[in-house]
Amino acid sequence: MHIRHVLLLPDADEDAEALEVVLPGEAPKAYVQRVTALKLESAVKRLARRGLPSAPILCADTTVALGRTIFGKPNDAQDARRMLRALANRQHRVITAIVLGWGERQVGLCSESKVNFADMNEAAIASYVASGEPMGKAGAYGVQGRAAAYIARISGSYSGIMGLPLFETHQALQILGFVH
């Protein structure tokens, strides 16, 4: 979107993954919105701790949901295989929340897309998991990678499925007056 930006990555002593713990009974949309808000809170503290000037901060988080079941990042290869088996030959949702904060002002928006996976046999799942691509990705896949060969249909936002919905991000930037 041609907006100058700087990454505000967590410090080595920050446990960013701890923010992504699912609370008992938490609905997927509520989960991803809560995690994104926590990421913004942490980023605001990080900005101040580093003595950096006030600046807008954009945070996002993505989750994959099959019904009310949340599929976060797989713990290991076995967990990735479990997720992919569950998603194969079914439709699931990909929900990405963004929050843009600047000072006391915040705008939070959500993108929800539907993804239909084709059937994946055990050999296909094993090969994909062995590639290492599923690790670190919600639902154990990346739409922009090798998993695309098994995605039969998408309804919604491709950029949202990748992890930063550009339409909602642009809307938030408009609301806070950064773009027209």
Instruction: Please report, for the chain, the start and end positions of each structural domain, with discontinuous segments joined by +.
Output: 25-175
- How far, in Å, CA of 130 to CA of 81, rounded? 10
The angle at the Cα of 69, spanning 41 to 91, to the nearest 5 degrees, equals 115
Q: For residue 45, what pLDDT is reported?
A: 94
pTM: 0.93
Q: Is 61 a catalytic residue?
A: yes
- Pick the catalytic residue from 11, 13, 61, 76: 61
Architecture of domain 25-175: Alpha-Beta Complex (3.90)
- How far, in Å, CA of 133 to CA of 57, rounded? 28
> Strands (DSSP E) along the chain, which ranges?
57-66, 69-71, 91-102, 105-117, 151-155
Residue 103, Ramachandran bin (φ over 0: left; ψ between -120 and 50: alpha; else beta): left
Q: For residue 161, what pLDDT is reported?
A: 96
165 exposure class (CB count in 10 Å sphere: 0-12, 13-18, 19+)? buried
Q: For residue 165, what pLDDT is reported?
A: 98
Higher pLDDT residue, 99 or 14? 99
Token output for 136: 């670190």
Give tens-digit pLDDT for 52-100: 998 999 999 999 999 999 999 999 999 999 999 999 999 999 999 999 9
